[in-house]
């Protein structure tokens, strides 16, 4: 199957051709671990987790590398605030990230390198740049000289004057060029440091990603992904230092997701509207956030408000109700051959819908269109699964399950592995109601039915037994 991805470098949709026909190297910038991740971080991690799953579904062997920046000014400052060591802050927030990632259904990367564990690799890369004449020393720091790299700015396509204006200017000294960036920072009192050919110090942020990505994926990566806010200067600087060191193309395909807005305002600390993942799923199923992210094409901005969160919650309830209904039928049919109908078959249609689902994702990872296919599938299959039908085709039911399983392998939003925790209590009530009915204790059965209704569920008595589902609004 042909896959097309929008390459930020060329600013157009391109046919994706990995360097190895069966293998893909994918790198995503991970968190700087000084705080809990917010929903802007989550968008990056969810989108490219799904992209990785998509490639795996198409039988590619994916090496997915996502780093932890565990030495940084923000970490050092947070450690001072808390009276802790920087490594203690980093370790704590790595643990908290993994908790949030697991709850969001984000699969663990193939490799999760930490910057502090790759100091030798970072020093080696800086030494390559030094040997090729791309660096200079300034008050103990080692800087990259952007004027030596003629392609600087090719990713962001910023005019030179904009590059200067947007660069992080160190107030304590005058660089040769304002866009020059630090590769190695000399040690300051009370800060962590490592020995190097240039004295005690620590790596700059940009060089960490280049060193770690190339260590595990080679000098040319298939895909480098991240948020749009990282295009300049972070990814621009990664290109400059990596290609200057190796003389090779650093990345074939650059993928970037759009901004996250809160109540129609860009999420930022200055506005005080940062929403952490933990705050959001405190009173919502984490899959609601995953769906909100997938509702919007990854390159477009998302506006997070109660309207879209509620819409995602209703959509998730619709999925859950479909799964409840499916297993209600499927579990009955597997043990009752009298209910089989050998003439009924939707298998070809189910296969066609799955192909349409995959085709949506192959077109620049169009998750909104893929979710629309899932919606059509649920509508179509709900008609087939009505209990009044009384007979079904077992192979068709297995095809329905196969569709759900394959879709969930990519999207990670369909509850197929075990009973939902929220259903455990209502199932106990249903079982007790059935006992009361068998004992002809109809007043108790009615009381239990009312309790079920008040808990947000609807119960239907069918020839196959009681069927239940939640209100979707």
Provide the pLDDT for residue 338: 64
Superfamily of 4-257 according to CATH = HUPs (3.40.50.620)
DSSP 287: H
pLDDT digit string, tens, across residues 104-134: 999 999 999 999 999 999 999 999 999 999 9
Provide the pLDDT for residue 166: 47
Q: Is 70 exceeded by the pLDDT of residue 161?
A: no
Provide the pLDDT for residue 448: 86
pLDDT digit string, tens, across residues 369-385: 999 999 999 999 999 98
Beta-bridge mates of residue 138: 141
The answer to whether residues 160 and 149 touch, using CB atoms and an 8 Å cutoff, is: no
Q: Is 80 exceeded by the pLDDT of residue 195?
A: yes
Q: Which of 22-31, 344-353, 400-409 has the lowest mean pLDDT?
A: 344-353
Q: Is 50 exceeded by the pLDDT of residue 170?
A: no
Provide the pLDDT for residue 143: 98
DSSP 338: G
Provide the pLDDT for residue 162: 62
Residue scoring higher pLDDT (264 or 343): 264
Q: Which of 117-121, 158-162, 180-184, 385-389 has the lowest mean pLDDT?
A: 158-162
- Distance (Å, whole) CA 261 – CA 259: 6
Q: Which of 38-42, 60-64, 144-148, 454-458 has the lowest mean pLDDT?
A: 454-458
Provide the pLDDT for residue 305: 93
In 3D space, the residue among 275, 181, 277, 266 whose CA is nearest the CA of residue 229 turns out to be 266
Average per-residue pLDDT for the chain? 91
Token digits for 172?
Answer: 């304590």
- Distance (Å, whole) CA 88 – CA 86: 5
In 3D space, the residue among 306, 324, 431, 448 whose CA is nearest the CA of residue 385 turns out to be 324
Structural class in CATH, domain 315-411: mainly alpha
Provide the pLDDT for residue 459: 87
Q: What angle do CA 365, 371, 377 make, to 5 degrees?
A: 130
Provide the pLDDT for residue 264: 84
Q: How many residues does the structure list for the chain?
A: 473
Beta-bridge mates of residue 68: 114
Quote the percentage of the chain above a pLDDT of 90: 73
The answer to whether residues 278 and 39 touch, using CB atoms and an 8 Å cutoff, is: no
Q: Is 80 exceeded by the pLDDT of residue 157?
A: yes
The answer to whether residues 71 and 115 touch, using CB atoms and an 8 Å cutoff, is: yes
Helix, strand, coil content of the chain in percent (nearest 5)? 50, 20, 30
* pLDDT band at residue 460 using 50, 70 and 90 as cut-offs: confident
At how many degrees (to 10) do helices 86-103 and 73-82 cross?
100
Q: Is 90 exceeded by the pLDDT of residue 470?
A: no
Domain layout of the chain by residue ranges? 4-257, 315-411, 421-470
Provide the pLDDT for residue 339: 66
Q: Is 60 exceeded by the pLDDT of residue 136?
A: yes
Dihedral sign for Cα atoms in the order 227, 19, 216, 406: positive
- What pTM was computed for the model? 0.91
Average pLDDT over residues 156-180: 71
In the three-class reduction of DSSP (H, G, I as helix; E, B as strand; rest coil), residue 4 is classed as strand
* pLDDT band at residue 342 using 50, 70 and 90 as cut-offs: low
In the three-class reduction of DSSP (H, G, I as helix; E, B as strand; rest coil), residue 66 is classed as strand
Dihedral sign for Cα atoms in the order 283, 286, 291, 297: positive
* pLDDT band at residue 411 using 50, 70 and 90 as cut-offs: very high
């Amino acid at each position: 199957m042909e896959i097309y991805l929008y390459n930020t470098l060329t600013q157009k949709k391109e046919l994706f051709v990995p360097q190895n026909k069966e293998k893909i190297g994918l790198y995503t910038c991970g968190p700087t671990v000084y705080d809990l991740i917010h929903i802007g971080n989550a968008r990056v991690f969810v989108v490219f987790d799904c992209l990785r799953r998509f490639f795996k579904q198409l039988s590619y062997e994916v090496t997915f590398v996502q780093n932890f920046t565990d030495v940084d000014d923000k970490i050092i400052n947070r450690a001072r605030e808390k009276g802790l060591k920087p490594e203690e802050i980093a370790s704590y927030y790595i643990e908290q990230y993994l908790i949030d990632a697991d709850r969001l259904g984000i699969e663990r990367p193939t490799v999760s390198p930490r910057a502090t564990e790759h100091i030798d690799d970072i020093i080696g890369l800086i030494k390559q740049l030094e040997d090729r004449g791309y660096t200079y020393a300034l008050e103990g720091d080692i800087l990259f000289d952007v004027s030596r790299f003629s392609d600087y700015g090719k990713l962001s396509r910023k005019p030179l004057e904009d590059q200067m204006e947007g660069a992080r200017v160190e107030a304590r000294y005058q660089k040769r060029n304002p866009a020059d960036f630090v590769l190695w920072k000399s040690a300051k009192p009370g800060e962590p440091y490592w020995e190097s050919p240039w004295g005690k110090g620590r790596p700059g942020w940009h060089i960490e990603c280049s060193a770690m990505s190339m260590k595990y994926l080679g000098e040319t990566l298939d895909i480098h992904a991240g948020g749009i806010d990282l295009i300049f200067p972070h990814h621009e600087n990664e290109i400059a230092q990596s290609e200057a060191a190796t003389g090779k193309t650093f990345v074939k395909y650059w993928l970037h997701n759009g901004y996250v807005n809160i109540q129609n305002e860009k999420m930022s600390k200055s506005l005080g509207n940062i929403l952490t993942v933990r705050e959001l799923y405190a009173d919502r199923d984490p899959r609601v956030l995953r769906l909100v992210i997938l509702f919007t094409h990854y390159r477009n901005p998302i506006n997070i408000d109660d309207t879209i969160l509620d819409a995602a919650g209703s959509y998730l309830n619709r999925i859950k109700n479909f799964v409840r209904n499916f297993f209600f039928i499927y579990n009955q049919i597997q043990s009752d051959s009298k209910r089989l109908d050998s003439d009924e078959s939707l298998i070809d249609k189910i296969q066609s819908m799955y192909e349409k689902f995959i085709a949506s994702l192959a077109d620049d990872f169009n998750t909104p269109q893929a979710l629309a296919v899932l919606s059509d599938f649920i509508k179509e299959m709900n008609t087939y699964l009505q209990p009044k039908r009384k007979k079904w085709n077992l192979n068709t039911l297995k095809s329905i399950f196969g569709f759900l399983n394959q879709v969930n392998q990519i999207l990670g939003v369909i509850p197929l592995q075990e009973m939902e925790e929220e259903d455990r209590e209502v199932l106990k009530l249903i079982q007790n109601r059935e006992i009361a009915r068998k004992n002809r204790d109809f007043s108790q059965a009615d009381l239990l039915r009312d309790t079920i209704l008040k808990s947000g569920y609807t119960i239907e008595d069918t020839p196959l037994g009681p069927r239940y589902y939640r209100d979707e609004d």
